[in-house]
Amino acid sequence: MACAIALNDLTVAYQGHPAVHHVSGGFTPGSLTAIVGPNGAGKSTLLAAIAGLRAPTSGQVVFGPDYVAPGAVALLAQLSSMNPDFPLRVLEVVAMGAWVRVGAFGALGATERSAISHALHQVGLEGFEDRLVDELSVGQLQRVLFARLIVQNAPIILLDEPFSALDAATTRDLLSVIKDWQRAGRTVVAVLHNFDMVRAHFPQTLLMARELVAWGPTEQALSTENLEQAQQRSLAWQDSASWCAAPGSRERHIHEHKGH
Ligand code: ADP
Ligand code: MG
């Protein structure tokens, strides 16, 4: 089967320093993959390269034939925030998801309006259409951004730390949106820190520390040996690198090993 996304010896460097180094492998169509690695491991850079926002220094990102149309890749960036000097309403932000289809100044037809209503319903924000986004809580804002992704309707969805700083209820609701995407055959890739969540909900894991450490079924990829290897590699480039595993999880000994 052709990959949805193939990485061919991909290297992405900043001023000569590789953040993603000789990474090869593929995301199969319809796969749900967690990207895991220490701080500074190149996870965000990898997503930016897949989204076309960063050019490879060498190697390539190659999309399967069903994934080359404009708007085929949707990215939710890390630490999303809205510019408070430019007040937007929830409806306007969610409607941005339809830009690829209607253009920035195109009128929204009945189909698009109904897609927006459905998306707001799916993220639990019915009735929020006219609220200003800078008046929303962090969790509500992330719900809005997920609604925008739903409207965008892209076959490949990239999420960079989508649950950082979110409360349990929002995390649960947005995880269920991800599961719906998986059931609908979307190819979903999410940078995550919570190993318990990755093990429970993400069948595939890509573990990286600038170089690839492991990529495959989650339980194998997140073996103790692989996690220690990733940690060891990270020591070479960042003294303070640490895993953000939930307290009490199996990875805690890696913190303790480092004296955290
Ligand atoms: P992660 O998301 O895994 O924490 P990043 O991809 O954000 O890692 O960063 C990987 C490395 O690249 C880090 O050392 C980071 O400092 C560096 N880096 C990231 N973005 C830039 C940039 N715009 N300019 C220079 N260096 C960067
Ligand atoms: Mg990052």
- Domain range for 4 is 1-72+156-167+184-260
**Mean pLDDT (whole number) for 179-189:** 97
pLDDT confidence tier of residue 118, bands split at 50, 70 and 90: very high
Mutate to test the pocket of ligand 1, among 12, 14, 20 (most ligand atoms within 8 A of CB): 14
- Asked whether residue 162 is assigned to any structural domain, the reply reads yes
- Tally of domains within the chain: 2
Is residue 89 exposed (0-12), middle (13-18) or buried (19+ Cβ within 10 Å)? middle
- If asked whether residues 12 and 49 sit together in one domain, one would say yes
Distance CA 147, CA 165 (A): 18
- Asked whether residue 56 is assigned to any structural domain, the reply reads yes
Which residue's CA is minimally distant from atom 5 of ligand 1? 42
- If asked whether residues 55 and 101 sit together in one domain, one would say no
- If asked whether residues 3 and 64 sit together in one domain, one would say yes
- If asked whether residues 161 and 57 sit together in one domain, one would say yes
Is residue 95 exposed (0-12), middle (13-18) or buried (19+ Cβ within 10 Å)? buried
User: How much is the mean pLDDT over the chain?
Assistant: 89
- Length reported for the chain: 260
- Asked whether residue 161 is assigned to any structural domain, the reply reads yes
Which residues, listed in sequence order, are joined to residue 73 by a DSSP beta bridge? 156
- Asked whether residue 28 is assigned to any structural domain, the reply reads yes
- If asked whether residues 4 and 39 sit together in one domain, one would say yes
User: The domain spanning residue 40 has which CATH number?
Assistant: 3.40.50.300
Is residue 170 exposed (0-12), middle (13-18) or buried (19+ Cβ within 10 Å)? buried
Which residue's CA is minimally distant from atom 22 of ligand 1? 14
- Quick check: 255 pLDDT over 70? no
Mutate to test the pocket of ligand 1, among 20, 39, 44, 207 (most ligand atoms within 8 A of CB): 44
- CA of 78, closest atom in ligand 1: 2
Which residues, listed in sequence order, are joined to residue 32 by a DSSP beta bridge? 188
- Asked whether residue 77 is assigned to any structural domain, the reply reads no
- Asked whether residue 175 is assigned to any structural domain, the reply reads no
**Mean pLDDT (whole number) for 71-94:** 83
- Residue for token digits 């190149």? 42
pTM of the model: 0.90
- If asked whether residues 10 and 44 sit together in one domain, one would say yes
Distance CA 154, CA 67 (A): 9
How far does the centroid of ligand 2 lie from the alpha carbon of residue 127, in Å? Answer: 33
User: What does the pLDDT read at residue 202?
Assistant: 98
